[in-house]
Structure 1
Amino acid sequence: MRRIGRRDIVAAILIALLAGAVVTSPPFQTLQGLSLDVLTALRGKLVGDHRDPATSPVVVVAIDGETYDTPPFQGSPTLTWTREIARVLGSIADGGAKVIGFDVIFPSSIERSEIPFGDAPLGARLKGFDRDYLIALRKLSSDGKLVLGEVLSSDHPDRAQQLAVGNNVRGLNVYTDTDHVIRRMPLSFPVGDMRASAMAVELATRALGAKPQTAPSGVTALSGYTIPSAVPNTLTLNFRGLGRDVPTYSFADLHACVEKNDRDFFRRAFGGKIVVLGTILNVDDRKITSMRLSGGYDGTPAARCALPAPATTEQKARSDIAGVFVHANAVRNLIERDAVTELGFPLRSILTIVFAAIVACAACVLAPGGALIAWFGLTAVYAAVAVGAFVHALALPLTEPALASLAALAMMIGYRFVLADRDERFLRRSFAFYLAPEVIDTMVASGKMPALGGEMRNVTMFFSDLSGFSSIAETMTPGELVTLMNEYLSAMTDIIESHGGYVDKYIGDSIVAMFGAPADDPAHARHAVHAALKCHAKLAELNAGSAAFAGRGLSHRIGLNSGEAVVGNIGSRRRFNYTVMSDTVNVASRLEGANKYYGTAIMASEMTVAQTGNTFTWRELDAIKVIGRGEAIKVFEPLAEKGTESAGQTKVAAAYAEGLACWRAREFAKAADAFGRMAEMDPASALFGKRATALATNPPGSDWTPVNILEGK
């Protein structure tokens, strides 16, 4: 995970502002409507939110395909249906309907037909044909139970019908977004110097017995309900039941019910209801609404009265619905106070920008793949929250934050590639040829890069050298030598790098490595000792199993020392190398060479032992002075990880510790005896046994100190 700096935060904010401003700008206005469509689909799919059609305050009377196929309507133009419509309307009103709305427009009358029919026009011969229909319209309108619909600036009802209903004509116009989708309904229309309510508002007004009140701010309230309007003078439709929550009666069945004189059915079906009369056909008056993604339904077939149900009654979701259900849904939203509340432009923009900023910050911290996964996760969580809010009729912006955050993600990745990660890429290229990839990753992730020119770091140095290799190399051909060295150095380097070490250089058969730089590693001493033990074991494997090592019997010496050192790119202005310099390096080199005095393979300073804690089992070898250093240091040999040492190692270490204690107490005879017990199996004990025996024979002066001064390197 990458660290985020102040510059990155500023960049994330600016990118989020840019993405949010673009996505919420007017050219992308359709995204607001798309959010409603997606939320409607997700709510219908995830929540369902179905309601019992019987509880609906609105019902639809449908002039449907069944009506056109049923006598007496079969084969007859709708202009000739007026008498039958009047009879059905009268029965509906007698059944207790609160108000009836006409979503059917008869722009002309058969009585006005001038088509010749014998000696006179057809209209003259049918004079009085619409009398019962007009009387029914007048009676219902006088009782306040009828609202006739018209499309403003388009089709108008016949003049006789308008006179019959008086002022009870209202607009059926809908509000269409720029993508030709109906998501909102107008609340009122200008008529001269006045404003007249839309059909749906007028029906709700009469059912509630209250008139809409419009404040100077433009907000409209109806019976104490403040109608939410993201777009002025509109209501945002809430298709909670996807159309299936509106009972739908076939006009043909109701006509047959009138013939049957079943008044009880009309009371059960229409008592206290708002009735909307309209057409439901497959090709006529179909509307695309915010149910276009989820699919909507043309109501739910209601109980039948007289005619048997059609053979095919199964409904399928469609991307469009009959226009009458748009008005029915608007009425229900008003009655149940369930219109959708949309956030205004300022809040939508703020929410979009905040979400984009969160994703931009994630893209700044994570790798591109991880950032994309984070975007998916955050978007899914936000979508779940938005759907939960939409269940309660609150529409949070959905597509705008999703697209703005995706754009911010792409821009942030581009920003990192061009600017923010430029130094990281430089370091990766610089170290690629002489540093293990996992070490580079750790170094970059830690955020602590080595300063060019050098810096002080606490490190553990690792020096190794093959014993007597020069004489062995003389017996080998150049090809054999190269093969052997490549296999040996590769095996040792793999172990060093797998423990977080960095190979500084190869000097012939020698390896110089350090732990704790360039990647910061608080456990560098422990990792260095682990690597030394693994290297020693690996060489034994190579001697036993590699063809290149067969019969060579190679052994090596390893020196370890921990302390402060200068690490960095050091060299000339034209050529430099990442390396290390300090007394810590020199001591480690001397300890590697000191192994040959004691017959050991690994020797570590007391500084390294102190930094490994209680991880390993050690034996103290001696206190020595090396060339170039005035102070004596105690040196140790790692035997194994704590708890894994063998019984033989434990026995040798105990005898050696006893002998060393006697040696330092000037009890040389006892020391010689202790060392002598293990001399045959332990070169270090054999060395000390000879020294103790010599001093027991010729005791040293009073100025003697138990420190071994090494003369060679």
Structure 2
Amino acid sequence: MSSPNTRLGFLLPLTVIAAMLLLYLLSPVPVQTLRNAAFDQYQRWQPRPYSDSPVLIVDVDEESLARVGQWPWTRTRLADLVERLHAAGATAIGFDVVFAEPDRTAPRAMAAEWRLSGTDAARIAALPDPDERFAAAMRGARVVLGLTVENGGTAPSGGQSTHRIVSRGDAALSSLPAFDSATLPIPALRSAAAGIGSISFQPDPDGIVRRVPMLVRLPQEIVPSMIAEVLRVSLAERNYVATGLAERPGLRSLRIGRHQIPTSPDGEAWIHYSRPAPQRYLPAWRILDGSAPETALRGRIVLVGTSAKGLLDLRFNPLGAAMPGVEAHAQLLEQIHAGHFLERPAWATAVEALAIAIGGLLVATLALRTGPLSSASATLAALLAIAAASWWSFIAWRQLVDPTLPVIALLLTFVAGSLVRHRGSERRHRWIRHAFSRYVSPNLVSHLVDNPGQLVLGGRRQHCSFIFTDLAGFTSLMERTDPGEAVSLLNDYLDGMIAIVFRHEGTLDRIVGDALAVVFSAPVEQPDHRRRAYECALDLHRFAQAHVEDLARQGVEFGRTRIGVHSGEVIVGNFGGSTIFDYRALGDPVNTAARLETLNKQLGTLVCVSDAIRDDCPGAFMRAVGDIVLKGRTQPLRVFEPLLHTDGTPLTENDSGYDEAYALMAAQDPRALSAFEQLAAERPGDALVAWQLNRLRSEGSGALVVMAEK
């Protein structure tokens, strides 16, 4: 069963997944732009290969304008063009042009322009009308004219339809793009045309033409596109068969004769562009002057359009190139004849949403419950799988499946899950650090956390300082006190002592019953470790003194604390076996510090420090004990006692009387005995003076002392 923290940890990744699903469903312009960018890249990596096609563009290019004259050409010229195309064997002719106005060069228009009247006007009016000439040429050929659709204009009056739309599915045509007005060819031309189709594009927000609507809705009727009408006319078909989606309103496909064209629900067909192909174009001037090859037009669908820059019919395609608008029609017609279709399948939306939801949940689970390397590797594999599946769908089946939002969703979910895990790890890290710091020195915990590589067996040489403490009379305290109360007393005492050690950034080496072993300058080196050790020892002494007095006021007898402080080179590191680490310092200075602590018992003192400590603590006032040869050692160690008030605070001056007596003793001057006798009489409670006096009386003079006991 998952813990509340685990369940809460899922909240952020789940929020990210929900937000990405909402973003996916709303599909704002940035999301559409990302999706289209991926599909564009696929087309750039694998454009449709161009092959010989029954579709040809008769191009009113720059040279045609230079040879024939500026645009618009007269309808008589266009009639000539139609007749030549029909005679050459074109199966259908589509004009990517809207002839919305009469020819400006018509005789009647010119008579009005020239303001003729009478006989002249009648003669001019009797001349052949170019529009009628154009209409007559169209009646003998299969010509499709263009119209444009828009919103905000006047609804068209309409004309006779030469097609019929058969709908399979009650809502097959319910999602078509709707417009309230259209610009139509003039009636004379409209009545002569074999068909009329929309040449309007609906580019995406970035201006790129990726799809062409096959059908659009006007208030009075449904209008096919230029592509659909040219194809229908070329096949001598009358019907369009619109098949709706089974699961929701919208169009699935449009059949024209033998061609079944998959569409989006709103009736758009995706264009899979090929690279520019010069053989797709034939200049219009070559048709008009008869220089075009006789076989160039036979059996072809001809689209008449313009690539001339001055006529402003340039569009952008996913390959990153500008193209004449008529080429979009031509490329889609090429696809239809080849049976080569790009399709965004109806199931793509569900699959992409599931990829976001299920993939996000899997990635979140991995990010929250496995290590960073495992979760990152699994997430990377999932991202690559999504991208590969999308690309494979494109190259194998020409299906457009969006990888962008699922990839982004999985990345964001992984980041969210990783942040939650990292935060949880940091929280556990802090908890473990806090918990261990109750048992192990905080500086040791921090050092090992920051330097896990040092958790290996072995050590290094290092100069460190050491404090050993022991509680006098602890055994007898345990004997005469209830065990529970004794443990409570000991815990209060140790809590206070350890807190002081940690405040001075000492490392607690170990606790043995009532005794503490403390090391400075390990594991983190401390240049002032001797000074730290000395000041820590004084604070420990001060606390111990105050603690004893506080308990005495409560009627509890508690022992005095003896302290030894020394410094020297040791081996510091982890020692033990393969199953346990024991971080500590090993070497003679450690044993010496322990012996100095026990030396207090013989001296009657409470704090003993070595000359190694005293030499690095200028300004600290101490008095010499002697050159002590500790039990088990051969070399003497000069030992000092700090000068302290009864409450443990340091004195701010030397003990000149003691120093003079000690100098006499060190010089083996016989006067040393009387000097210490005088001091003993003046200071009956001075334990060190009493010890020196007893030693002088029993052993003679001199500063060298060989200890027979530990």
**Contact 1:20 / 1:349 at 8 angstroms: preserved in 2?**
no
Please say if residues 48 and 272 of structure 2, whose CA atoms lie closer than 8 Å, have aligned partners that are also in contact.
no
Is the Cα–Cα contact under 8 Å of residues 345 and 400 in structure 2 kept in the other structure? yes
1:122-521 → structure 2 map (5 Å cutoff): 124=125, 127-140=128-141, 145-152=142-149, 153-165=181-193, 168-177=195-204, 181-190=208-217, 194-208=221-235, 211-215=239-243, 217=245, 218-222=251-255, 223=257, 226-239=260-273, 241-244=274-277, 247-256=280-289, 258=290, 260=291, 265-267=293-295, 269-282=296-309, 284-286=311-313, 288=315, 291=318, 294-296=319-321, 318=322, 321-344=323-346, 345-361=349-365, 363-364=367-368, 379=383, 382-391=386-395, 392-416=397-421, 421-427=426-432, 433-435=443-445
Q: Which runs of 5+ in 1 are unaligned?
A: 297-317, 444-458, 471-481, 493-506, 516-523, 540-551, 557-595, 598-711
Per the alignment, residue 56 of structure 1 pairs with 53
Distance between the aligned counterparts of 2:447 and 2:254, measured in 1? 68
1:380–1:273 distance in 2 versus 1, CA, 3 Å: farther
Contact 1:362 1:371 in 2 (8 A): yes
Any conservation in 1 of the 2:573–2:583 contact (CA below 8 Å)? no
CA, structure 1 residues 487+400, in 2 after alignment: closer, same or farther (shift >3 Å)?
closer
Structure 2 distance, partners of 1:381, 1:216, is: 32
Residues 358 and 90 of structure 1: CA distance in aligned 2, closer, same or farther (over 3 Å)? farther
- Is residue 62–residue 248 contact of structure 1 (8 Å, CA) maintained in 2? yes
Instruction: Report the CA distance shift for 1:384/1:245 in structure 2 as closer, same or farther (over 3 A).
Output: farther
Contact 1:103/1:277, CA 8 A, preserved across alignment: yes
Whole-angstrom CA distance in 2 between matches of 1:466 and 1:398: 62
Alignment of 1:623-642 (within 5 A): none
- Distance between the aligned counterparts of 1:57 and 1:430, measured in 2? 82
Q: Residues 92 and 369 of structure 1: is their aligned pair in 2 closer, same or farther, counting only changes over 3 Å?
A: farther
Residue of structure 1 equivalent to 2:172: none
Are residues 1:96 and 2:89 paired? yes
Q: What is the distance in 2 between the residues matched to 1:529 and 1:352?
A: 47
Tell me which of 72, 78, 87 is aligned to 1:78: 72
Q: Flag structure 2 segments of 5+ consecutive residues without an equivalent.
A: 150-180, 246-250, 437-441, 468-506, 508-518, 527-563, 593-630, 633-708
Residues 49, 236 of structure 1: CA spacing in aligned structure 2 closer, same or farther, 3 A cutoff? closer
Q: Distance in 2 between matches of 1:184 and 1:14?
A: 35
| Contact 2:367 2:375 survives alignment (8 Å) | yes
Shift of 1:351: 2.5
What whole-Å deviation, never above 9, does each CA across 1:233-287 have from its counterpart, x for those lacking one?
Answer: 2222322x1454871122123323x1x4x5xx131x2233222111213354446
Amino acid at match of 2:47: D
- How many Å apart are 1:66 and its aligned residue? 1.9
Cα 1:234–1:33 shift into 2, 3 Å = farther
Alpha-carbon distance, 1:188 to partner: 1.6
What secondary structure sits across from 1:182 in the alignment?
Answer: coil
Deviation (angstroms), 1:182? 3.4
Distance in 2 between the 1:102 and 1:234 partners? 21
2-structure distance, mates of 1:438, 1:91: 92
Q: Is the 8 A contact 1:102 1:149 kept in 2?
A: yes
One-letter amino acid of the counterpart of residue 398, structure 1? P
1:35 aligns with 2:29: no
Q: Does the C-alpha gap of structure 1 residues 233 and 412 become closer, same or farther in structure 2, counting only changes over 3 Å?
A: same
Aligned residue identity for 2:140: K
Q: Which amino acid aligns with 1:72?
A: V
Q: Structure 1 residue 324: deviation in Å?
A: 0.8
**2:59 maps to amino acid:** A
Shift of 1:139: 0.7
Aligned to 1:24, the other structure's residue is in SS state: helix
Q: Following the alignment from structure 1 to structure 2, what is the Cα–Cα distance between the partners of residues 282 and 374? A: 52
Q: What corresponds to 2:490 in structure 1?
A: none
For residues 227 and 254 of structure 1, the distance between their equivalents in structure 2, rounded to whole angstroms, comes to 32
- Correspondence list, 1:611-630, <5 A: none
Question: Aligned partner of 1:183: which letter?
Answer: R
Secondary structure of the 2:210 match is strand
1:425 Cα deviation from its structure 2 partner: 4.5
8 Å Cα contact 1:16-1:354 kept in structure 2: no
For residues 448 and 236 of structure 2, the distance between their equivalents in structure 1, rounded to whole angstroms, comes to 77
CA distance in 1, matches of 2:28, 2:143: 41
Flag the 1:419–1:32 CA change in 2: closer, same or farther, 3 A. Answer: same
User: Conserved in 1, the CA contact under 8 Å of 2:252 and 2:265?
Assistant: no
SS across alignment from 1:148: strand
Kept in 1, the 8 Å contact 2:574–2:581? The answer is no
Letter in 2 for 1:22: L
User: What residue number does 2:25 align with?
Assistant: 25
Q: Which amino acid aligns with 1:228?
A: P
Contact 2:61–2:283, Cα closer than 8 Å, also in 1? yes
SS in structure 2 at match of 1:397: coil
The one-letter amino acid of 2:224's match is S
- What's the counterpart of residue 98 of structure 2? 105
Equivalent pair of 2:315/2:324 in contact (CA under 8 Å): no
Q: CA deviation at 1:397?
A: 0.9
* Percent of residue pairs identical: 18
Q: CA RMSD in A?
A: 5.2
- Within 5 Å, which residues of 2 pair with 1:696-711? none
1:353 maps to a residue whose letter is: A
In structure 1, what is the Cα distance between the partners aligned to 2:299 and 2:222? Answer: 28
Residues in 2 aligned to 1:253 and 1:104: alpha-carbon distance in whole angstroms? 20
The one-letter code of the counterpart of 1:174 is: F
Q: Distance in 2 between matches of 1:119 and 1:527?
A: 117
Which digits, 9 at most, give the CA deviation of each residue in 1:432-478, with x for residues without a partner? 732366657879xxxxxxxxxxxxxxx9999x9999x99xxxxxxxx
TM-score, with length taken from structure 2: 0.52
How far, CA to CA, are the matches of 2:278 and 2:374 in structure 1? 44
Deviations 1:155-199 (A, max 9, x none): 32222211222x511222233445554332222234565433221
2:114 paired residue number: 117
TM-score (norm 1): 0.52
Contact 2:10 2:364 in 1 (8 A): no
